[in-house]
Amino acid sequence: MINKEEGVFMVIGVYANLERDIDCIQSKKLVGLFEGRGIKCVVCDNASKFFPMNNSPMNDVAQIADIMIVFGGDGTMLQVANKIIDFNTPILGINMGNLGFLTEGDHDDMSNVVEHIINSKYEIDNRMVLEADIDGEKFIAINEVSLSRSRSEHTVDIDIFVDGRLADVVTGDGVIVCTPTGSTAYAMSCGGAILSPGLSAMQIIAICPHSLHSRPIVVSDTSSVLLKLHRSKLNVVSVIIDGKQCLSTTHGVNVSKSDKQFALVRINEDNFYSKLINKMNGWNYVSRRID
């Protein structure tokens, strides 16, 4: 356990995805910019090879850091956020990936990030988080929780209960429950609506439903959603959390709003919709180039 030194008014935590930030070239630049302004930086120990005198385990860094800066894409942001969410440490992402819906800065303009942080010209955007109860074991999801048939050739039948009442029965590949943050991720690819991050809501979307009626359902964040395995040929199905953590169940999963929050640092004046347009135009441009 490390403690914030007396007289130090700000500590910046740094996590680098070593597959994105090769040899920590960009994170080294950022640390140099902050330390050149008298700001202490502590780097997560996955990069200890590149920061031998200035690293600590991620949990220790999160406990003393005023802001955790993450080098990577949206997947890296979710990975770090899930690990340190108990400490409520705000996270700012430097985009080293392709999409960057959650990231806020670019590696070619890090001086702008440093200036905003040092001069307190940033806001904290607290996002809703889900809690998944799987056979009595609880997990946190920032984007989504899905119940799916995994690699089986059979479809799966899932009963959807909202606050204890049957809302739908889905036959298909599975069902997603997502947050507004997750509505621009896997859920959108499955035909879900895009939800404003500030909404107090959850969205339920069928994955490749074998029906003509299935439509996304948006419910209050005070609701409890139960996805229950129903008369399936499968004995075991998969619960996938934020596209990474995969568990097995023979029953289903209960999803509700967590009392935790995902704290994002915002330095840009662009709102959610302008970012959405920019990202969508980027995707459309790529698709036109391929055509």
Give the residue numbers marked as catalytic.
Answer: 74
**CB-facing half-sphere around the CA of 249: CA atoms within 13 A:** 25
H-assigned helices in 49-163: 58-64, 74-84, 110-118
Only one residue has tokens 């119940």, namely: 147
First-to-final CA distance of the chain:
54
List phi, psi (to 5°) of 111: -65, -30
Which of 140, 17, 126, 11 lies closest to 70, judged by CA? 17
Which runs of E-coded beta strand occur in the chain? 11-16, 40-44, 55-56, 67-72, 91-95, 105-106, 123-134, 137-141, 144-148, 156-162, 165-172, 174-178, 201-207, 217-220, 225-229, 237-241, 245-249, 252-266
DSSP lists the bridge partners of residue 193 as none
Tokens of 291: 């055509």
Which of 214, 203, 210, 145 lies closest to 173, judged by CA? 210
Q: In angstroms, rounded to a whole number, what is the distance separating the alpha carbons of residues 30 and 45?
A: 16
Q: In angstroms, rounded to a whole number, what is the distance separating the alpha carbons of residues 244 and 217?
A: 24
